[in-house]
Amino acid sequence: MESQPKIAVVDENPLRAAIIEDGLREGGYARITRIEDTSRLAERLRELDPDVIIIDLECPSRDVLEQMFHVSRAAQRPVAMFVDQSDSAMINAAIDAGVSAYVVDGLKKERVKSILDMTISRFNSFARLRAELKAAKSQIEDRKVIDRAKTILMKAKNIPEPQAYALMRKVAMNENKRIAEIARSILTASELLG
């Protein structure tokens, strides 16, 4: 995200939207677009491609909240949501949808910048955690594939485990590939021949 993020403010109420926009401008943010019509919200957000989304829902119905949560899930961007009323089910749904900041009855111009900064920071923290989790899962999966391929090589060539691993490593280096790729090839070949 560049130093001056594009911010989409989703609010059907011009007075409430003006409070958010004033708070953003006073906080040094200038690239702000207001979306008043939420009927094509997902499409409009795709067109705008904002860096951050602020959604203000005065008295949201369950249907409107569900639409906003769907947008939040699909956006993969920092999302701050202001609502006047809430309950634990709505809060849990917002968290599940990936809303980075869910603010109940807290729409004040003076708070907008700090809430936006916290929203971006929290989103970035969760994005790093998601990336680390994905990498860890991938490493575990690679390790399982490598272990299965070693077992196949050990049986097929009647060699010990260190030698099977060394053989895969040598082929990986010669072909400029990862050991896990070579292991997957061994598994595929084994399935075809088995």
Note the pTM of the prediction, 2 decimals.
0.73
- Domains of the chain plus CATH, in order, are 7-107 (3.40.50.2300), 134-193 (1.10.10.10)
Q: Residue 113, exposed/middle/buried by CB under 10 A (0-12, 13-18, 19+)?
A: middle
Q: What's the whole-number mean pLDDT along residues 56-85?
A: 78
Per-chain mean pLDDT for the chain: 89
- What pLDDT is attached to residue 62? 67
- Return the C-alpha torsion angle 66, 14, 82, 39, nearest 10: 10
Beta bridge partners of 3: none
Interstrand relation of 79-83 and 52-57 (parallel, antiparallel or unpaired): parallel
The pLDDT value given to residue 61: 64
- The region that residue 106 occupies, defined by phi over 0 for left and psi between -120 and 50 for alpha, beta otherwise, is alpha
Could you read off the pLDDT of 76-131 as tens digits, one per residue? 889 998 888 878 888 888 888 888 898 888 788 999 999 999 999 999 999 999 99
- 33-42, 57-66, 153-162, range with the lowest pLDDT: 57-66
* pLDDT value for 1: 46
In contact, 112 and 21? CB cutoff 8 Å: no
